[in-house]
Amino acid sequence: MRARAVGWTLGCIGSVALAAAVLVPASSPARETELPLDVAYRTELLGADVTFLDPATLVQRTAEDVSVSVRVRGDEDSGEADDDTAVWTYDTTTSAADGTLISTTTTTACLDRRTAEGVDCAAESVDGTPMDVRGLTVTFPVAAPEEDLRLWNDTVRASLPVRFVGSERFAGLEVQRWEQVVPERVLRAVSVPGALVDSTAPTSPADVVYSSTRSLLVEPVSGIVVSSEEDTLSVLRAPDGTPGAVLLGGVFTASEESTDRAVARAREVIDQQESPGLVSPWGVGGAGVVLLGLGALLVGRSRRGVPAEQTEDQDVRSPVPAA
């Protein structure tokens, strides 16, 4: 009887396990990755043989070492940050090796925590001026679709197409390569000293003309940009088309230290995704089948093991001998 009771118990537990396995979607991921609210990291691009216009002296400098540093931080205390939206601010500083500050920009974006795309909110701005920051910014979504997306360009201050090029191996990781090409375009009209556009006039109108090609390597499980390269050129152009001073021109590549940090962050996310933090529905279902089978076996054996005389009517009594 004891084996029979145990068998029925195991059978009940197995049935519950099978029901649970059916209710849990087998195709759902083990864990959904969302953008963190309190992110904090730094990246750096280095350029050699860079040309730029010193903003303090207005002197053209060439063959210089220049760095572009980006510090990213999340503002979890922002009133716009919630379960669906992350508020990230990143400061971009371009400076020469001798400390000369070339440019600095601060961008605040409100990002959908699942798609990583900019969404509407009161906090979004560029250098303190409210601005619609749209598209992707400093991170990509998890498992980004292999199709054209939109990527925010800090210089143009608009989101522009970014094209999926293909997959490759980088630093031991499978990564996606993305490329954004910005054809030559006029950003704005300015008034500058005539000498900067080869004019003898004290001042002259000019256009700021910009073009760039940017390549990014993205680890798809985390959406982290592990490395990047940008070939950029910003120049002044006189009204008659005469090229003037180069505001910034060169090829910038992620530093080794910056790449190592990004790869480490990506590996940390991958390890978290691969850790058995949740029970697979297939495992639950398999356990249910085993328990049902074991329960049925115990019940069957208990029935076969009952003596034949115990199956007879328990009220039958031996005849009383006659006196």
Does the pLDDT of residue 291 top 80, yes or no?
no
Per-residue model confidence as pLDDT tens digits over 188-209:
999 999 999 999 999 999 999 9
Distance (Å, whole) CA 238 – CA 224: 41
Does the pLDDT of residue 28 top 90, yes or no?
no
Bridge partners (DSSP) listed for residue 167: 176
Please tell me whether the overall predicted TM-score, pTM, comes out greater than 0.75 for this model.
Answer: yes
Exposed/middle/buried for residue 150 (C-beta within 10 Å: 0-12, 13-18, 19+): middle
Beta strands in the chain (DSSP E): 40-53, 60-74, 85-96, 101-112, 125-126, 129-130, 149-153, 158-170, 173-193, 203-219, 224-237, 243-254
Distance (Å, whole) CA 53 – CA 155: 16
Q: Using CA atoms of 152, 215, 248, 124 in order, give the dihedral in degrees to the nearest 10.
A: 20
Does the pLDDT of residue 90 top 60, yes or no?
yes
Does the pLDDT of residue 275 top 70, yes or no?
no
Give the pLDDT band (50/70/90) at residue 317.
Answer: very low
